[in-house]
Amino acid sequence: MTSNLDWTRFHRAFGDDPGVLPDGEVLGSAEHDWHSVFAMLHRSGWRVTTSDGHSPLPPNGPGLAEFETFAVWPVDGVRVNFFPGLDAVIFDVDLRELVNQAAVDGIAHVMRKLGTTLRRDVVMRDEGSSGAPVIHYATATDQFSLG
């Protein structure tokens, strides 16, 4: 699946010193939204593993230890890390893995699936930042914008 996020503009948007692991968030999400995320991931066909290497992800989260994270690979070589112990749907990605348009499209696909599943906008910010988003997926328009 292709996105309207251009790889070159994507990298430029993060600037010269963005940190390696930009933070993603489903805006307005809550702890109870994780069940919908788990269900979506089971339908996705993406490879998913828990932090201790178990695969597949337990259905709807039972069996996932509170301290465990899990990873999703939407395309080969691109890992999206999720943190289900938090009270919102939070994830990060490694910018060093986003080496071409297919990798950026993979991240965009994850953001779009999260947004449409939870009916909420999804953003990515520079690592550790609470400022303006670098990338924003708007569910109302099904479009991405770069900050």
Q: Domain count for the chain, please give it.
A: 1
State yes or no: pLDDT of 35 exceeds 90.
no
Q: Is residue 2 part of a domain?
A: no
pLDDT digits (tens, 9 = 90+) for 51-82: 766 666 655 555 555 557 889 999 999 999 99
Residue 12: predicted pLDDT: 82
Q: Is residue 70 part of a domain?
A: yes
Q: Which range marks the domain in which residue 41 is found?
A: 7-146
Q: Is residue 34 part of a domain?
A: yes
Q: What is the dihedral of CA 34, 40, 44, 49, to 10 degrees?
A: 20
Q: Is residue 97 part of a domain?
A: yes
The amino acid that residue 91 corresponds to is F
Q: Is residue 1 part of a domain?
A: no
Report the C-alpha gap between 70 and 37 in whole angstroms: 12
